[in-house]
């Protein structure tokens, strides 16, 4: 070959020595990944084509896994704090010392007063273990992060129809003809939503994005509804108003599958006014038009009435709940013209969208020639579908009216007959699961004893609250109290402020996992830092001991007294369990594992294995054998051998002695091996006759029992009128044994309406509109997940700073131009931010990317990193309490029903800042680590290139 | 100066569908992770954990706003304009080398390092010959080439030449990393010289476009414009209620009749 001849390109170079298949953890989506290894290093990560969640694709975060795995921010060894809290000064210690210390702290408390441990986990995908551990320990104080994430969505879904979006169900991407997506930027289910939107577009379906900001999914929507934050519920109820006025609701569906015909007692002076009339067996009654009598709703062959006052067997009056529903939403208050100003949505657009929904649902109905049998034994020759589907997430739920807003959306879906039908919304097993199939909350603690049941559950009424006889709260976060009776995911965002205040009581140990509470996961971040640093008169920390587990050098690590270093996601065992938050598809049950595809090169341990070790050291039931020895060697051992009840364990696949049982079966010692051979997951398809109408499909219910989701069929009757809410209302009306505190009565009466309502977000009601005329919200970027992403050498090049996007009209009014700096001011604080103009946004809404701002010195970044200099958090503007309203009290800035943190209620004004140092404010002094910044240059993969 | 082949046997390239690209950066990052350990020198990163982190990428996404009611390259949405009086829209625009037929980056190269393959039309840089002069990057009207600061050689999209023929990969994976990973199925790979190929058909059906055709570079890659936004459903009335029965007797009256009809 001459000097002037090119060498042929090597078109078949070696790719890797081995491919190991596991589950991604770069966000909460839980996609399957193929990890290519070469020379014992990660060469390449791609999506697993066979995997039910992502079917081969992989997002930006997942593709940047290499940089996460090799991040210089990784913790290397257990740490004991040596400097003051918050400084980030630590001494490395051995695991024996770390676990000994943790055990001694925890043992003392368990033997004396277990509630003095507050154990809360953040982005935890092992809640079935952490919850089980906390229950065995016996503290009432356990929850994960749902309370500040999206509990309104989950709770409204379970209470209304037995499941919500994402893990609970998804649109029928293959059959929907009209799709509306509310309040979703990039969020949970990120790859499936992108795949689904693409499928909808291929088929010519119409996509409507409802979001104050027209980015991402909304940017490709056919139509964008640039709604004002916090008014989605009003917009939805106006759609319902239009549908009802036009008679465009699916009456057959409502009669068959909902409580629309159930009779509501009309006896204003009685203690059961507004509850359902029931027979001796507790079964709700309906009025049968055929026999002109009250019969159980369970009886087959009846023709229930949907309107008209009837006389109950006891002589009292009652009406079908549907009549109450119709009266409520036909009211002029919900007319499109009446809601336009508040929602920012033109009346003509609301009317047209209602008409398009109705046309698509009822005139483009889908028929699948698939016979099935319902729970009353009636055989249906076909599956009839209403091809309108919806999806929603945090944007509608993180408001003080979020629970009722999420309920409103479900009401709309159900009125259109589009739940669990072809083309509509489809549940994923083990959902739907009605409220009655979920546990009640438990908080009855005693020294040296496990809690009698799981911490988190679904209260049926005021009798299930976690309060003492004197009305004080049993839980540190005040979950399941009058403050937030249906706080089914707990209220992690209140733990630190309550522990600091000693209200309802102080704690000794705060134990947290993967929750960046001193930074982007708290409201009022500065205040939280001060609470964690606060000392009492004796010079002791007010929150005496903090144990924290994380894989990375986060802001929260700096506040821990004892740091338990976790592994990266490629170094660990995990199970994505049906006992927890599974990865099922509408057509199939599925679960999956993580396993150590690379071995740690540091002295770190998977957090779950550490919990199992601590459980054994503490002698917790379920974690020790009868002789007191450890029951499980590590998490992998637990995943295979733990049984929640006989035959039911963390993983459903390859159970039994012959590894041929699904769902139920004895532990199989080779189970993990079988998962690994199958690509890290297990999937079992639902029979064809059971794939739709799961809530009322006998075939599905039998299959579900066989799989072990529950021990008897759990059909769901959709609860349009939600009786548990009415039970709380009755307490406020003085018609119940339980008495809410006087100051909460009005709120419970007004907000706990058994039919979905809209009320103005609390913060907006308590500030002066003229002083804070604007809204400010965050969106999660598609290429970054929470604080995890910004240590990532590749992702931080995409999102290293976060401008405040300001509507053009506001820019013009304030004289703001791109590159200017501005003060954004709320009732609670002020932040200085860089400005960028934007027009494709609601005219009253500022927005920025979520969790880009970093504390200097955290996450293994240098202290002059742009994330620390220019990046900022809105959290400094948001307080966990509402502004004072002169009643001597500070009300919680959360949903009064579920306690969900009302992040998106924030109201602000914006003012141009004087030219200056171009640094965001507030400034927080840099922490010292513990991790130190990485190299000044990367040439990743150099050894594999020529 | 380097010459271009008179013609190529195949004309491999990408179709990028702007109708479904949500700007998620999956293609951008997956490209980086494949290629940093793949063809030629790694894609280095300077200051990866400090101020101003910056590195070499072969594919980037540009995001900008347009007012589609004023044209702006998108057909405005009738529904949107009806609702808002305007149609301000965010466009996500992925951009990598377009493997032009008339590639100025090739003809400008003083060493012959930059060349277009006669067998498949892929434009490549032979890094051994690259002297890092940067002329090719200057000549590219699309800004699709990046000089690697650590290695001093020009980096660009190779159309994953080390994947698409790679016998060490399963056949279904022999496509560029960006195509394989795209969650929205917005990227497609194929041979534009074959009028029946997937990409040629797509371009014909959807009105695929050249990027900046006035530059005369004859790019092989094509962009599919956003589909016309679904108009308001024509057969749906703009006001449901005005046409509906209940208005006369009220909703509860309608309910009686409707239940009666159901039997």
The DSSP letter of residue A645 is B
User: What is the pLDDT at residue B262?
Assistant: 83
Q: Is A242 part of any domain?
A: no
Rounded to an integer, the average pLDDT of A136-143 is 98
A536-566 as b/e: b if 16+ CB within 10 A:
eeeeebbbbbbbbbbbbbbbbbbbbbbbbbb
User: What is the pLDDT at residue A5?
Assistant: 76
pLDDT category at A482 given cuts 50, 70, 90 is very high
H/E stretch holding A332: none
The DSSP letter of residue B226 is P
Nearest chain B residue (CA) to A11: B162
- What gap in Å lies between CA A925 and CA A917, rounded to an integer? 16
Name the residue among A367, A350, A342, A115 with its Cα closest to residue A243.
Answer: A350
A858 backbone dihedrals φ, ψ, rounded to 5°: -85, 165
Tell me which residue in A6, A215, A798 faces B126 most closely, judged by beta carbons: A6
Which of A850-859, A892-901, B252-261 is least confident?
B252-261
Chain B interface includes A248 (CB < 8 A) = yes
State the angle between helix axes of A402-415 and A232-245 in degrees (0 to 180), rounded to the nearest 10. Answer: 30
Chain B interface includes A362 (CB < 8 A) = no
Contact list, A926 vs chain B (CB under 8 Å): none
Is the model's pLDDT at A595 over the cut of 70? yes
Q: Which residue has the tokens 């080779």?
A: A670
Q: Is A507 part of any domain?
A: yes
- What gap in Å lies between CA A211 and CA A229, rounded to an integer? 8
**Do the beta carbons of residue A430 and residue A589 sit within 8 Å?**
yes
Contact list, A363 vs chain B (CB under 8 Å): 235
Is the model's pLDDT at B166 over the cut of 50? yes
H/E stretch holding A265: strand A263-266
Distances (CA, A) of A408 to A233, A361, A418, A429, A668: 6, 18, 14, 23, 45
Same domain as A775, residue A900: yes
Same domain as A728, residue A864: no
At residue A682, the 3 state secondary structure works out as strand
Rounded to an integer, the average pLDDT of A927-932 is 92
User: What is the pLDDT at residue A789?
Assistant: 83
Same domain as A858, residue A824: yes
Same domain as A142, residue A52: no
Q: Is A495 part of any domain?
A: yes
H helices of A83-126, in order, are 95-112
H/E stretch holding A32: strand A32-38
Chain A interface includes B21 (CB < 8 A) = yes
Same domain as A97, residue A15: no
**Do the beta carbons of residue B45 and residue A70 sit within 8 Å?**
no
| Maximum pairwise Cα distance, chain A | 106
Sign of CA dihedral A794, A797, A800, A806: negative
pLDDT category at B186 given cuts 50, 70, 90 is very high
Strands A845-849 and A774-779: parallel
User: What is the pLDDT at residue B235?
Assistant: 53
- What gap in Å lies between CA A679 and CA A900, rounded to an integer? 37
Tell me which residue in A12, A307, A783 faces B25 most closely, judged by beta carbons: A783
Q: What is the least distance, in Å, from the CA of A510 to any CA of chain B? A: 31
- What gap in Å lies between CA A774 and CA A229, rounded to an integer? 10
A173 backbone dihedrals φ, ψ, rounded to 5°: -55, -30
Rounded to an integer, the average pLDDT of A131-157 is 94
Q: Tell me which of A3 and A841 has the higher pLDDT.
A: A841
Which of A97-106, A110-119, A814-823, A880-889 is least confident?
A880-889
Chain B interface includes A4 (CB < 8 A) = yes
**Do the beta carbons of residue A388 and residue A424 sit within 8 Å?**
yes
* Beta-carbon count within 10 A of A321 CB: 27
User: What is the pLDDT at residue A442?
Assistant: 98
Strands A285-288 and A293-296: antiparallel
Same domain as A139, residue A16: no
Q: What is the pLDDT of residues A460-469, one digit of tens each?
A: 999 999 999 9
Distances (CA, A) of A209 to A172, A572, A601, A687: 17, 38, 46, 34
Q: What is the pLDDT of residues A788-815, one digit of tens each?
A: 888 999 999 999 899 999 999 999 999 9
Which of A378-392, B75-89, B232-246 is least confident?
B232-246
- What gap in Å lies between CA A155 and CA A290, rounded to an integer? 37
Q: Rg for chain B (alpha carbons), in Å?
A: 25
Name the residue among A269, A277, A348, A359 with its Cα closest to residue A315.
Answer: A277
Contact list, A243 vs chain B (CB under 8 Å): 240
Same domain as A538, residue A446: yes
Is the model's pLDDT at A575 over the cut of 50? yes
Average pLDDT in chain B? 90
Rounded to an integer, the average pLDDT of A77-90 is 97
Number of separate domains in chain A: 4
Could you tell me the CATH number of the domain that includes residue A900? 2.40.40.20
| A505, A537, A564 - which closes a domain | A564
- What gap in Å lies between CA A302 and CA A173, rounded to an integer? 35
Is the model's pLDDT at A125 over the cut of 80? yes
User: What is the pLDDT at residue A606?
Assistant: 97
User: What is the pLDDT at residue A17?
Assistant: 97
| Subunit contact A303:B240, Cβ cutoff 8 A | no
* Beta-carbon count within 10 A of A666 CB: 14
**Do the beta carbons of residue A487 and residue A164 sit within 8 Å?**
no
| A positions 462-491 inside 8 Å of B (CB) | none
- What gap in Å lies between CA A74 and CA A422, rounded to an integer? 47
Q: In A129-217, at which residue ranges do the beta strands (DSSP E only) sit?
A: 142-143, 169-171, 178-182, 206-210
Note down the domain range covering A902.
Answer: 762-912
Same domain as A555, residue A472: yes
Same domain as A782, residue A741: no
Q: Provide the β-strand partners of residue B223.
A: B16, B209
Chain A interface includes B225 (CB < 8 A) = no
Say what the alpha-carbon torsion angle A489, A494, A496, A499 is, to the nearest 10 degrees.
Answer: -100
At residue A630, the 3 state secondary structure works out as strand
Q: What is the pLDDT of residues A201-218, one digit of tens each?
A: 999 999 999 999 999 999
Structural domains in chain B, CATH included, are 12-224 (3.30.70.20), 233-263 (no CATH)
- What gap in Å lies between CA A213 and CA B63, rounded to an integer? 14
Could you tell me the CATH number of the domain that includes residue A54? 2.20.25.90
The DSSP letter of residue B201 is H
Q: Is A402 part of any domain?
A: no
Tell me which residue in A54, A223, A937 faces B44 most closely, judged by beta carbons: A937
Q: Is A311 part of any domain?
A: no
DSSP assignments along A52-90, one per residue: TTTTT---HHHHTHHHHHT-TTB--S-EEE-SSTTS--E
Name the residue among A718, A720, A715 with its Cα closest to residue A377.
Answer: A715
Rounded to an integer, the average pLDDT of A685-702 is 98
Q: What is the pLDDT of residues A171-194, one digit of tens each?
A: 999 999 999 999 998 777 889 999
Rounded to an integer, the average pLDDT of A129-158 is 95
Chain A interface includes B33 (CB < 8 A) = yes
3-state percent breakdown (helix, strand, coil) of chain A, nearest 5? 30, 20, 50
- What gap in Å lies between CA A929 and CA B250, rounded to an integer? 69
Contact list, A219 vs chain B (CB under 8 Å): 22-23, 89-92
Whether the link from the prior residue into A436 is cis, omega within 30° of 0, is no
B121 backbone dihedrals φ, ψ, rounded to 5°: 80, 5
Is the model's pLDDT at B246 over the cut of 80? no
- What gap in Å lies between CA A165 and CA B69, rounded to an integer? 34
Q: Rg for chain A (alpha carbons), in Å?
A: 28
- What gap in Å lies between CA A587 and CA A428, rounded to an integer? 7
Same domain as A540, residue A451: yes
Q: Is A887 part of any domain?
A: yes
User: What is the pLDDT at residue B232?
Assistant: 53
Distances (CA, A) of B235 to A320, A359, A360, A774: 34, 8, 10, 38
Could you tell me the CATH number of the domain that includes residue A480? 3.40.50.740
- What gap in Å lies between CA A13 and CA A530, rounded to an integer? 56
Q: Is A10 part of any domain?
A: yes
Which residues, 6+ apart, have CB-to-CB distance to A281 below 8 Å?
A: A296
* Beta-carbon count within 10 A of A744 CB: 18
Which residues, 6+ apart, have CB-to-CB distance to B108 below 8 Å?
A: B1, B2, B114, B135, B136, B138, B139
User: What is the pLDDT at residue B74?
Assistant: 59
pLDDT category at A486 given cuts 50, 70, 90 is very high
* Beta-carbon count within 10 A of A291 CB: 12
Name the residue among A147, A357, A130 with its Cα closest to residue A239.
Answer: A357
Is the model's pLDDT at A1 over the cut of 50? no
Q: Tell me which of A184 and B239 has the higher pLDDT.
A: A184
**Do the beta carbons of residue B220 and residue B100 sit within 8 Å?**
yes
Is the model's pLDDT at A411 over the cut of 50? yes
- What gap in Å lies between CA A147 and CA A215, rounded to an integer? 26
Is the model's pLDDT at B58 over the cut of 60? yes
H/E stretch holding A497: helix A495-501
Rounded to an integer, the average pLDDT of A350-358 is 95
Same domain as A104, residue A131: yes
**Do the beta carbons of residue A145 and residue A487 sit within 8 Å?**
no
Contact list, A223 vs chain B (CB under 8 Å): 77, 79-80, 83, 229-230
**Do the beta carbons of residue A833 and residue A923 sit within 8 Å?**
no
* Beta-carbon count within 10 A of A786 CB: 17
Rounded to an integer, the average pLDDT of A454-458 is 97
Q: Is A233 part of any domain?
A: no
Same domain as A827, residue A742: no
Site from A235, A244, A387, A941 to mutate, B interface, most B CB atoms within 10 angstroms: A941
Is the model's pLDDT at A847 over the cut of 90? yes
User: What is the pLDDT at residue A331?
Assistant: 95
- What gap in Å lies between CA A432 and CA A586, rounded to an integer? 11
User: What is the pLDDT at residue B260?
Assistant: 84
| Maximum pairwise Cα distance, chain B | 86
DSSP assignments along B98-152, one per residue: ---TT-HHHHT-SSS-EEE-TTT--EEE-TTT-----HHHHH-TT---EE-TTT-
Average pLDDT in chain A? 95
């Amino acid at each position: 070959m001459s000097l002037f001849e090119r060498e042929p390109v090597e078109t078949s170079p070696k790719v890797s020595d081995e491919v190991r298949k596991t589950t991604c953890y770069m966000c909460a989506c839980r996609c399957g990944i193929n990890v290519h290894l070469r020379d014992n290093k990660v060469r390449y990560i791609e999506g697993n084509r066979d995997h039910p969640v992502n079917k081969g694709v992989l997002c930006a975060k997942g593709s940047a896994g290499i940089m996460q795995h090799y991040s210089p921010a990784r913790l290397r060894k257990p740490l004991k704090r040596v400097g003051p809290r918050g400084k980030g000064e630590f001494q490395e210690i051995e695991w024996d010392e770390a676990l000994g210390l943790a055990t001694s702290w925890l043992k003392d408390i368990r033997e004396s007063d277990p509630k003095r441990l507050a154990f809360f986990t953040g982005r935890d995908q092992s809640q079935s273990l952490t919850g089980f551990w906390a229950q065995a320990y016996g503290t009432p104080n356990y929850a994960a992060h749902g309370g500040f994430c999206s509990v309104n969505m989950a709770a409204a879904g379970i209470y209304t129809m037995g499941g919500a979006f994402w893990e609970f169900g998804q649109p029928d991407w293959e059959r929907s003809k009209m799709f509306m997506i509310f309040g979703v930027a990039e969020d949970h289910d990120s790859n499936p939503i992108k795949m689904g939107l693409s499928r909808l577009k291929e088929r010519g379906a119409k996509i409507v994005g409802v979001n104050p900001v027209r980015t991402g999914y909304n940017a490709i929507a056919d139509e964008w509804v640039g709604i004002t934050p916090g008014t989605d519920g009003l917009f939805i109820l106006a759609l319902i108003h239009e549908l009802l006025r036009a008679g465009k609701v699916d009456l057959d569906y409502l009669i068959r599958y909902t409580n629309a015909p159930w009779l509501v007692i009309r006896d204003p002076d009685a203690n059961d006014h507004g509850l359902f009339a029931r027979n001796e067996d507790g079964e709700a009654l309906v009025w049968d038009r055929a026999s002109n009598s009250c019969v159980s709703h369970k009886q087959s062959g009846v023709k229930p009435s949907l309107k008209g006052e009837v006389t109950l067997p006891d002589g009292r009056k009652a009406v079908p709940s549907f009549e109450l529903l119709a009266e409520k939403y036909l009211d002029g208050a919900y007319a499109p013209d009446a809601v336009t100003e508040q929602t920012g949505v033109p009346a003509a657009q609301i009317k047209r969208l209602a008409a398009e929904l109705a046309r698509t649902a009822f005139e483009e109905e889908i028929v699948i020639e698939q016979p099935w049998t319902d729970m009353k034994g009636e055989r249906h020759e076909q599956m009839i579908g209403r091809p309108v589907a919806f999806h929603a997430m945090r944007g509608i739920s993180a408001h003080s009216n979020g629970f009722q807003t999420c309920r409103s959306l479900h009401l709309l879906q159900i009125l259109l007959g589009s739940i669990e039908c072809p083309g509509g919304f489809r549940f994923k097993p083990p959902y739907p699961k009605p409220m009655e199939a979920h546990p009640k909350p438990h908080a009855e603690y005693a020294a040296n004893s496990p809690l009698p049941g799981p911490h988190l559950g679904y209260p049926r009424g005021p009798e299930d609250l976690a309060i003492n006889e004197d009305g004080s709260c049993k839980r540190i976060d005040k979950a399941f109290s009058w403050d937030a009776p249906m706080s089914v995911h707990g209220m992690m965002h209140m733990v630190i402020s309550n522990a600091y205040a000693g209200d309802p009581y102080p704690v000794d140990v705060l134990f947290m996992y993967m929750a960046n509470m001193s930074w982007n996961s708290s409201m009022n971040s500065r205040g939280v830092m001060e609470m964690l640093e606060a000392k009492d008169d004796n010079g002791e920390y007010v929150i005496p001991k903090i144990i924290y587990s994380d894989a990375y050098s986060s802001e929260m690590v700096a506040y821990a007294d004892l740091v338990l270093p976790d592994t990266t996601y490629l170094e660990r065992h995990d199970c994505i369990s049906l006992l927890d938050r599974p990865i099922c598809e509408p057509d199939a049950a599925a679960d999956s594992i993580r396993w150590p595809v690379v071995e740690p090169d540091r002295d770190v341990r998977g957090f779950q294995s550490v919990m199992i070790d601590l459980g054994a050291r503490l002698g917790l039931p379920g974690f020790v054998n009868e002789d007191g020895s450890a029951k499980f060697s590590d998490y992998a051992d637990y995943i295979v051998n733990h049984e929640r009840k006989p035959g039911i364990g963390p993983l459903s696949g390859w159970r039994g002695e012959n590894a041929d049982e699904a769902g139920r079966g004895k532990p199989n010692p080779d189970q993990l091996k079988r998962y690994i051979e199958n690509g890290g997951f297990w999937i079992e398809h639902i029979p064809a006759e059971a794939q739709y109408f799961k809530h009322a499909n006998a075939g599905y219910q039998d299959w579900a029992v066989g799989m072990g989701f529950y021990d008897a069929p759990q059909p769901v009757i959709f609860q349009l009128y939600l009786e548990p809410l009415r039970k709380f209302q009755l307490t406020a009306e003085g018609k119940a044994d339980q008495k809410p505190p006087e100051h909460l009565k009005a709120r419970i009466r007004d907000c706990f309406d058994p039919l979905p309502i809209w009320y103005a977000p609390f913060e907006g009601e308590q500030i002066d509109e003229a002083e804070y005329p604007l809204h400010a919200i965050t969106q999660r970027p598609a290429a970054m997940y929470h604080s995890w992403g910004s240590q990532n050498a590749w992702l931080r090049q995409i999102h290293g700073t976060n401008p405040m996007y300001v509507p053009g009209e506001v820019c013009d009014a304030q004289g703001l131009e791109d590159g200017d700096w501005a003060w954004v001011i709320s009732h609670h604080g002020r932040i200085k931010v860089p400005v960028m103009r934007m027009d494709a946004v609601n005219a009253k809404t500022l927005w920025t990317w979520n969790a880009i701002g970093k504390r200097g010195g955290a996450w293994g970044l240098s202290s002059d990193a742009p994330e620390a200099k220019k990046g900022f958090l809105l959290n400094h503007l948001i307080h966990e309490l509402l502004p004072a309203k002169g009643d001597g009290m500070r009300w919680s800035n959360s949903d009064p029903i579920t306690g969900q943190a009302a992040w998106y209620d924030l109201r602000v004004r914006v003012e141009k800042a004087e030219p200056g140092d171009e640094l965001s404010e507030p400034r927080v002094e840099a922490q010292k680590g513990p991790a130190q910044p990485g190299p000044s240059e990367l040439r990743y993969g150099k050894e594999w290139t020529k | 100066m380097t010459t271009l082949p008179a013609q190529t046997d195949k004309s491999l390239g990408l179709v990028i569908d702007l109708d479904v690209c949500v700007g998620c950066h999956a293609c951008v990052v997956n490209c980086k992770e494949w290629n940093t350990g793949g063809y030629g020198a790694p894609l280095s990163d300077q200051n990866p954990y400090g101020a101003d982190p910056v590195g070499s990428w072969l594919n980037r996404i540009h995001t900008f706003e347009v007012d589609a009611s004023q044209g702006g390259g998108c057909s405005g949405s009738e529904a949107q304009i009806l609702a808002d009086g305007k149609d301000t829209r965010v466009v996500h625009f992925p951009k990598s080398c377009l493997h032009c037929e008339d590639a100025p980056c090739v003809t400008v190269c003083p060493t012959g390092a930059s060349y277009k393959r006669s067998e498949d039309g892929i434009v490549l840089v032979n890094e051994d010959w690259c002297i890092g002069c940067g002329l090719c990057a200057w000549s590219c009207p699309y800004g699709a080439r990046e000089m690697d600061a650590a290695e001093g050689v020009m980096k660009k999209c190779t159309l994953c030449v080390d994947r698409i023929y790679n016998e060490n990969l399963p056949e279904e994976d022999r496509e560029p990393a960006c195509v394989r990973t795209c969650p929205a199925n917005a990227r497609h790979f194929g041979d534009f010289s074959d009028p029946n190929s997937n990409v040629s058909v797509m371009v014909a059906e959807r009105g695929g476009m050249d990027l900046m055709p006035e530059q005369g570079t004859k790019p092989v890659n094509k962009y599919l414009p956003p589909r016309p936004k679904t108009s308001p459903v024509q057969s749906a009335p703009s006001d449901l209620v005005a046409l509906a029965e209940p208005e006369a007797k009220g909703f509860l009256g309608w309910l009686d009749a409707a239940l009666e009809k159901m039997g």
